[in-house]
């Protein structure tokens, strides 16, 4: 247990020790080597880098250097990332054996290891992380602590104003004032639908009930999205603090966080954070003698996309099949075990401490008229700088894809960006200048979603992509309501038919009709948004659908059944490699003479094209 | 876990250890199933019975929950579970080709285990390593920037290792 005074002592002392993390000119002989411990960098062996660095420090009797495992820095494409502070030198794509040079050259000789510096898209060599174009247009609020602190050390969180917002709420504000700040900030739900957070809080506060609950939705199911995971891995205490503030505001003393079991690092760090907060007496009974109690528990998901839907999530916390409930009543009135329950997602919570500390106006000054603050996106797919990006609302897609993301690799052209995952839509080039906010994305047939942003180049077939999302929905539909369970299956069958080259023009009308019916008649958000990928591709890439139907060709060359392999006689040298590799003997030809493919026999496996040394085979 | 008559087999005692950690509250069902799945790699009929008795709910309810969530399986996975990510980021970067190759080499489909119990295939949704897409995992080891050739050589290596162990 620590008293408020003791916590303040820690804050002052540790903050001074950590000055070198944020101040390049910090007056210290110490150095901190920060190594990314997010899931991406961990997969690329960052724990071994840490081990090696620590071993070398010990072997060399170096006493003024510490190695710290942090959360995600954001630029996953250049991971594992290592940063040396206070001089703020940024090393990219570091391998375990590079620890030798970092210690021998950087630490011992005080020289930069030039070969480990990062190259920007324009090939210029960058010394500091924020010199990269990737970071120039970003503004980090939710991700503020990620890559700065050790997420497994509560003192480091406290040092950077951690739990100060909670203190402010408990001692200076009443619940209504807290809710007013959140309302005035303009913060809206970051899970996808964008419901005003302050409103949700006030509904839950007004609801009658002897017991109320606060829930954090960390069931980040959109494939290709990893914002919430990175927040939990990089700054778990931010979420705990925000849930406690929410508990104080709505009158709840028990919280649950529902996390995907597929995120073991996030689960482990969050549990460590809960344990530390309990040890410090921040979580528990009669916190800081204010009479406010709060307890927090982790509940693991078990791999069901639908559990990201709030009522399905509640069912799952209660230990049942995650099937959505009928709304109303909304969780604010009847949630967990029928009690008033507040549910927000991870990123929404991560914004709260900053809003309380800096005020509503500070937050509402960022962003657009209807969408305030920042949004974190997981930028992935065919883009150079894959990673985590936090930008003010109103930033355009073009800025994210080209300025921050560094454009499309391999000299290919941009074709579409997909936001909102299986619930969102594909955005074509003509709408790249759309400012990102809830309304604008909705107006062009997509949605904000939780923050997955997948970029696709011109080698991607939009019909095939729509099919991919429908396969996902069919798989993940919980089966409770008919439009979603059967409707999406029928849509998938039609898409399959088109991709196989058996589509007819009236299929497109059928698809549209089905889609609209499913949207209208489904019980929950999963079904109501499932047709979006099909509708948006039909709207912007209808020609591509028609090419599959009328000409039986896939312009992008992705649909296997429609591929026609052809050997260019001018390029073929008659080496016979394709003939030997064809599994069905569909290729014939004399040595040193151009070969030909028998279309009737060809199974379109592509083995010939892969093997041809002269790139003579095209589809 | 084989059928056990006395109720005191090693597995059964271990299962009782897991159960003891939780209150007899049916909202703990998914927590318990997660632990059992992790420990044994699947949830046997015997374990289901034990859990249903402990929590005081029907076996049908336990079975219903198991079959709803994709993490829970009723059959053991292979010693090496190869999970190819079919999240959007991986899909866009060609993970389907990797999956096709695994299926072709092992001659089994997603969700199946090879006859010798060595390999099983799983198609997962996003392991969160999108920066390394396409990604597949072999048990807990993550392989990024995957290619069909890469997965082929890894399966070959595992087979060789297993053969040399068997010979010894």
Q: Quote the pLDDT of residue B32.
A: 96
Mutation target vs A (from B128, B137, B140; most A CBs, 10 A cutoff): B128
Of residues A407 and B132, more confidently modeled: A407
Count of structural domains, chain B: 2
Within 8 A of A382 by CB-CB distance, chain B residues are 92-93
Q: How confident is the model at residue B50 (pLDDT cuts 50, 70, 90)?
A: very high
Looking up residue A605, the CATH number of its domain turns out to be 3.30.70.20
Using an 8 Å Cβ cutoff, are A283 and A277 in contact? Answer: yes
Give the nearest chain A residue to B93 (CA atoms). A381
ipTM above 0.85, yes or no: yes
Pick from B44, B68, B92: which residue ends a domain?
B68
Q: Residues B158, B84: one domain?
A: yes
Flag if A386 and B72 touch (Cβ within 8 Å): no
- Residue to mutate among A223, A537, A557, with most B CBs inside 10 A, is A223
Facing B29 at nearest CB: one of A43, A224, A319? A319
A223: closest chain B residue by CA:
B87
Place of tokens 């120039």: A136
For tokens 């690329």, the residue is: A44
Task: Output the domain CATH number for residue B44.
Answer: 1.10.10
Answer yes or no: pTM beyond 0.95: no
Q: Does the beta-carbon distance from A386 to B124 stay under 8 Å?
A: no
Identify whether residues B57 and B101 lie together within a single domain. no
Distance from the A318 Cα atom to the nearest Cα atom in chain B, whole angstroms: 4
Q: Which residues from chain A sit within 8 angstroms of residue B100, using beta carbons?
A: none
Nearest residue of chain B to residue A40 (CA atoms): B129
pLDDT tens for A426-467 read 999 999 999 999 999 999 989 998 899 999 999 999 999 999
Query: How far A356 CA lies from chain B's nearest CA (Å)?
Result: 31
Same domain for A160 and A186? yes
Radius of gyration in angstroms for the set of CA atoms belonging to chain B, rounded to a whole number: 18
B115 and B146 part of one domain: yes
Asked if A168 and A270 sit in the same domain, the reply is yes
In chain A, residues with a C-beta closer than 8 Å to the C-beta of B125 are 221, 223, 303, 305, 472
Q: Decide if B75 is inside a domain.
A: no
Residues of B engaging A, defined by a Cβ cutoff of 8 Å: 25-31, 33-34, 64-65, 68-72, 86-93, 124-133, 135, 142, 144
Q: Cβ–Cβ of A300/B30 closer than 8 Å?
A: yes
A299/B30 Cβ within 8 A? yes
Given A550, A576, A603, the domain boundary residue is A550
Alpha-carbon distance values, B131 to A73, A385, A471, B127 (Å): 12, 9, 23, 11
3 state SS of A34: strand
Looking at B21, B47, B68, the residue that finishes a domain is: B68
Contact A473, A526 (CB under 8 A): yes
Confidence at residue B1, expressed as pLDDT on a 0 to 100 scale? 47
Of A494 and B89, more confident: A494
The residue whose two tokens read 């969408």 is A371
CATH code at A505?
1.20.1440.230
Report if residue B19 sits inside a domain.
Answer: yes
* Angle made by CA atoms A47, B132, B156, in degrees to the nearest 5: 85
State how far the Cα of A396 lies from the Cα of A205, in Å rounded to an integer: 36
Closest chain B residue to the Cα of A264, Cα to Cα: B127
Shared domain for A537 and A573, answered yes or no, is: no
- List C-alpha distances in Å: A87 to A24, A33, A60, A90: 5, 10, 21, 9
- Counting the structural domains of chain A, the total is 5
- Neighboring chain B residues of A378 at a CB cutoff of 8 Å: 89, 130
Identify the domain boundary among A325, A346, A364.
A364
Whether A221 and B142 lie within 8 Å, measured CB to CB:
no
pLDDT at A39: 87
Q: Is residue B5 part of a domain?
A: no
Q: Which of B34, B37, B43, B89 to mutate to test the interface with A (most CBs of A within 10 A)?
A: B89
Instruction: Give the model's confidence band at B4: pLDDT under 50 very low, under 70 low, under 90 confident, else very high.
Output: very low
Contact B125 A320 (CB under 8 A): no
Query: What residues make up the domain containing A257?
Result: 154-364
Query: What pLDDT is attached to residue B8?
Result: 59
Examine the fold and report which residue of A411, A437, A457 is the final residue of a domain before the chain moves on: A457
Rounded distance, CA B120 to CA A247, Å? 45
A26, burial (CB in 10 Å: exposed 0-12, middle 13-18, buried 19+): middle
Complete DSSP assignment for A204-251:
HHHS--S--EEEEEE---STT--HHHHHHHH-HHHHHHHHHHHHHHHT
Q: Residue B132: which CATH number? A: 3.40.30.10
CB A38 within 8 A of CB A71: yes
Q: Which domain holds residue B64?
A: 10-68
Residues B58 and B91 in one domain: no
Nearest C-alpha neighbor of A490 from the set A511, A509, A476, A508: A511
Residues of chain A predicted below pLDDT 70? none
């Amino acid at each position: 247990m620590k008293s408020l005074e003791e916590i303040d002592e820690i804050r002052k002392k540790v903050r001074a020790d950590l000055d070198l993390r944020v101040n390049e000119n910090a007056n210290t002989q110490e150095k901190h080597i920060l190594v990314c411990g997010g899931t991406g960098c961990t997969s690329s062996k960052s724990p071994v880098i840490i081990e090696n660095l620590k071993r070398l420090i010990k072997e060399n009797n170096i006493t003024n250097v510490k190695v710290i495992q942090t959360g995600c820095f954001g630029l996953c494409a250049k991971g594992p990332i290592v940063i040396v502070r206070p001089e703020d030198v940024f090393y990219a794509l570091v391998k375990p054996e590079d620890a030798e040079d970092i210690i021998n050259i950087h630490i011992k000789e005080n020289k930069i290891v030039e070969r480990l510096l990062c190259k920007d898209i324009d090939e210029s060599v960058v010394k500091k992380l924020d010199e990269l174009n990737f970071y120039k247009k970003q503004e980090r609020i939710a991700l503020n602590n990620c890559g700065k602190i050790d997420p497994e050390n509560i003192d480091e969180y406290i040092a950077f104003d951690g739990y100060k917002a909670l203190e402010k709420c408990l001692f200076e504000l009443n619940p209504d004032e807290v809710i007013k700040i959140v309302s005035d900030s303009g913060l809206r739900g970051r899970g996808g639908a964008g419901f005003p957070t302050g409103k949700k809080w006030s509904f839950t506060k007004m609801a009658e009930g002897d017991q109320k609950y606060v829930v954090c939705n960390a069931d980040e199911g959109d494939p290709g999205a990893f914002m919430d995971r990175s927040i939990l891995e990089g700054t778990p205490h931010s979420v705990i603090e925000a849930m406690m503030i929410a508990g104080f505001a709505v009158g709840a003393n028990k919280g649950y966080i529902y996390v995907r079991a597929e995120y073991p690092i996030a689960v482990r760090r969050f549990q460590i954070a809960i344990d530390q907060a309990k040890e410090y007496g921040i979580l528990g009974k009669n916190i800081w003698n204010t009479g406010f109690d709060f307890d927090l528990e982790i509940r693991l998901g078990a791999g069901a996309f639908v559990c990201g839907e709030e009522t399905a999530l509640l069912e799952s916390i209660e230990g049942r099949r995650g099937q959505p409930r009928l709304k109303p009543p909304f969780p604010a009135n009847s949630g967990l075990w029928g009690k008033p329950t507040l549910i927000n997602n991870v990123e929404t919570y991560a914004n709260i401490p900053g809003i309380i500390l800096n005020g509503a106006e500070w937050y509402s000054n960022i962003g657009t008229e209807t969408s305030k603050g920042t949004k974190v996106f997981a930028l992935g797919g065919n883009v150079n700088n894959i990673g985590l990006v936090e930008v003010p609302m109103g930033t355009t897609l073009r800025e994210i894809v080209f300025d921050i993301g560094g454009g499309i690799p391999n000299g290919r052209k941009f074709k579409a960006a997909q936001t909102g995952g299986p619930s969102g839509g594909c955005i074509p080039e003509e709408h790249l200048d759309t400012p990102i906010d809830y309304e604008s994305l909705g107006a062009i047939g997509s949605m904000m979603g939780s923050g997955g942003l997948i970029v696709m180049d011109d080698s991607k077939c939009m019909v095939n992509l729509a099919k991919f999302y429908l396969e996902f929905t069919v798989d993940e539909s919980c089966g409770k309501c008919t439009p979603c369970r059967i409707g999406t299956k029928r849509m998938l069958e039609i898409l399959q038919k088109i991709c196989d080259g058996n589509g007819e023009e009236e299929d497109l009308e059928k698809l549209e009709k089905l889609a609209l019916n499913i949207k209208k008649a489904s019980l929950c958000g999963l079904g109501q948004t499932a047709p979006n990928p099909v509708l948006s591709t039909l709207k912007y890439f209808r020609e591509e659908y028609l090419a599959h139907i009328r000409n039986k060709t896939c312009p992008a060359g992705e649909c296997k059944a429609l591929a026609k392999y052809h050997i260019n006689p001018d390029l073929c040298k008659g080496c016979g490699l394709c003939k030997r590799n064809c599994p069905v003997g569909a290729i014939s030809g004399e040595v040193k003479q151009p070969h030909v493919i028998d279309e009737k026999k060809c199974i379109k496996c592509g083995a010939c094209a892969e093997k041809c040394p002269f790139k003579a085979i095209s589809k | 876990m084989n059928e056990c008559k006395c109720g005191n087999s090693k597995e059964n005692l271990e299962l009782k250890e897991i159960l003891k950690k939780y209150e007899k509250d049916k909202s703990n069902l998914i927590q318990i199933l997660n632990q059992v799945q992790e420990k044994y790699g699947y949830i046997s009929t015997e374990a289901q019975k034990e859990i249903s008795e402990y929590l005081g709910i029907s076996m049908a309810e336990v079975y219903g929950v198991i079959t709803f969530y994709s993490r829970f399986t009723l059959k053991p996975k292979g010693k090496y579970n190869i999970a190819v990510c079919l999240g959007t980021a991986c899909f866009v970067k060609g993970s389907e080709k990797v999956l096709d190759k695994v299926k072709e080499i092992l001659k089994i489909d997603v969700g199946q285990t090879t006859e010798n119990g060595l390999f099983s295939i799983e198609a997962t949704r996003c392991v969160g390593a999108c920066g390394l897409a396409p990604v597949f995992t072999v048990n807990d080891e993550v392989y990024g920037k995957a290619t069909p050739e890469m997965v082929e050589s890894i399966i070959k290596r595992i087979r060789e290792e297993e053969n040399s162990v068997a010979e010894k």
